[in-house]
Structure 1
Amino acid sequence: MVAAQGGAAAGRPGGDGGLSGAAACPGLTGYTCATLNVPLDHSGGVPGRLGLKVAMADNVRAPKGVLLFLTGGPGQPGVPFVERLSKKLEPVLKDYRLVMIDQRGTGAGALQCPQLQEEMGSSDLTPPTARAVTDCAAAIGPERRHYSTNDTVADLESLRQALGVRKMTLDGVSYGTYTAERYALAYPRHVARLVLDSVVPQTGYDPMDRAALRAAPRVLTTACRATGCATDPAADLAEVVRRYGNGVDVIDALTTWEFVDPDYTAMIDALHQAANGDPAMLQGLIAGVREGGAASAEELSQGLHASTLCLDGRYPWGRSDTPVAGRQEALEKAGARLTPADYGPFDAATATGLGSMLSCLHWPRTPVPPLPSRERVLPDVPVLLLGGDRDLSTPLEWLYDQKKLTPRARVVVVPGAAHSVQSRAASDAGRQAVWDFLLDRR
């Protein structure tokens, strides 16, 4: 996890680190891979260093400079996706130098928590056992306090310095949008422009996922109309949750299903059957989603995911420096105050029982970093806010929340697209919007 010991200059991101071991990326023509050496603790208080993999296009003198692409999770690496993203961004890569990084705790340096990894796979929402969470935190140890977004932002500033550029353009997807926003807030003079695809607002992730719970009827109804289905999926969803009390399983499966089929065809059919008394198809889809969601820590580290969310998040009990003993009571009180306006067709048990909430409920007490003010706005640079109208992972409501804090926002919503528009959408409309934005074309 931590490379050779050694201090870092206090207050100076990267300390005496930089890029080392540069060589041609295996199997990638036109890219150089290297290791970014950063301190475990950017304040210099705790010794230790990390080596983060970086892949950089070889067009060092690209006229528009560096395009840093940030992947999601938190917990997803960057370097393994260079080939795929370079194809999606090909029209702009004569003008930009594409750079991708394995953020701390991901990829080859993934935080390893075997039981938590097995229980949650690639899901944010699957509820883990308390034992898996506490074993994970114990395995990482006190170093878990150094895996917040603040730490990743400082790593990105170290990367900028190592690349020798004054400004970067950042393109983030999902959690990568939050990282990009936080970098822009911390280092506004070093940002040229931002692409925020599938937006997590800078105010942070809601562990009750209320926006997604409320958005589910809209998303399913939109998909139904587009495909000409003859049912009422919003009514069916409400009846299923009322009848079976399985809201957590349903929203978890729906959120994953958008990656399988943004039309949600099978899910809409299964909800209709379950609402009419036959839950077999829905139960099968839920089981299939769980099985198909298996992922290694190198693909998406649940140890890093929990570490970051618990350090970054605001919860009904406060933050992760709150004593564990009173958290359950605070969560129950928060659940009792919820109304249908908060959770839509779901219920309070769904809002308080999601995996991202329960991971941090059981996470041991850990010192937390400061968070930026909720009222701060992004710097006055061009920003593209990109989303799909079928997205439940990061619903459009979050995009519009971020728009309120973005002085120079351009909004593009792609009909029929779900999560990660640039990478996954069938239509080129979102990608074209990104290309035009990056090349200053209206």
Structure 2
Amino acid sequence: MQRIPVRFGAELRRRRIEAGLSLGGLASLICFSKGHLSKIERGVKAPSHDLAQLCDSALHAGGQLSSLISAPERSTPAPPMTEAEVGTPWTLRMQAGGESDFVAFDPASSGGGAMPSTIVSWSLAPPLLESGETNSALPYFRNVFDEFRRLGQLFGPSVVAQLCIAATSALRGMAHQAQPAHRDVVLRLASRFAEYTGWMAQEAGSDAASLWWTEQAVQLAADGGDDELAAYALIRRAELALYSGDSVATVQLARRAAQQARSVRIRGLAAQREAQGHALVGDRDACRRALDRGAELTAGAVTPDGTDPVLGSIHLPDLTAFVAGWCMHDLGSPAEAVTLLGDGLDAIPPESRRARARYGARLALALANVGEIEQACAIAELVASHVALIDSATIRADLLRLSRALNRWPKNPTVRRTLPHLAIGLHTHRTGPGTPA
């Protein structure tokens, strides 16, 4: 029970009278009722700290009145988090309608197979958007997507995939609240986040998760009126087949993508993937025909208007030359590959680590196979340092081939210095996203 400070009331009355103020006059000055002040002066009602400060000011009491009552209660600052609390596991369940449930668990209670006890739970409702709010938010999400793509050039899937998943969920929830005029745009942008998540899953070495997320992207795009992503998804599947060494599936999926695609760009990318499939089995004529077709299509592709993010690689300045160099090496013509790849590595910005590592691995492999060991090793060390940061399973596959190629010169001092760097790059594999249950 709060103690009523009688002394405050008496002191307030004394100072008020000395100032020549009536009860009503002071009440007008501090915007409190006359009856309220009367109860305080008589000790019937306890003064608040705000009232004491107002009276101090009105009566020029210099804080003397405020000092007669207890200081306002202040919340005790929270102690710093312990190391165990910082390491607390949590989950974030994202539902299709935009709802999310965040739960943090007590790690000390998870022993013996029992369910860990909850420390914090937090339910996040989907946003309630007024007309026009969705459209005004979209440019920010579009910029976020571009930033995530840049981030994917610098760091591995363990960083980027989590961000992309959260953004996909947020946009999917916004689509349920968006006006019909804006809903399609929201869904198409969500599909791009989902597709990039699938690419990160592939880079992490999880083909199953890559396929799952790519299919999610196809469905989101289709719901938003974009069927073109379905064709591009076939190119992505063809790439998975390429890395697994399945040339037949690579060619078949690429051809299906070309038949299904409407845009010249997607048909050009499909032709390039088909060429890589032919090169895998040494079919030089079919590979060259596909490369020529891809070069013609990509050269005639209309520059995207920027409404939707561009599908496919955007960080390689000359994708056509890169694919052609890739194919020539797989066809057993590393000298042609070196000529095609040439100085292209220097044209890739330093901050595009993933693109530089992908390009450099192929260039170094071609150089090694034409006996340019010093150059091959110099680029190999660059690639290895990048792979240690970006954690790419696809580039690591090329790095393994490069390591085997360099091992043909075990007594070369440059090779002996370089191989430990490659071993570190090959050893830094991290577990990527798994297939959702």
State the TM-score, normalizing by the size of structure 1: 0.25
Bigger radius of gyration among the two = 2
More helix by share: 2
State the TM-score, normalizing by the size of structure 2: 0.25
More strand by share: 1
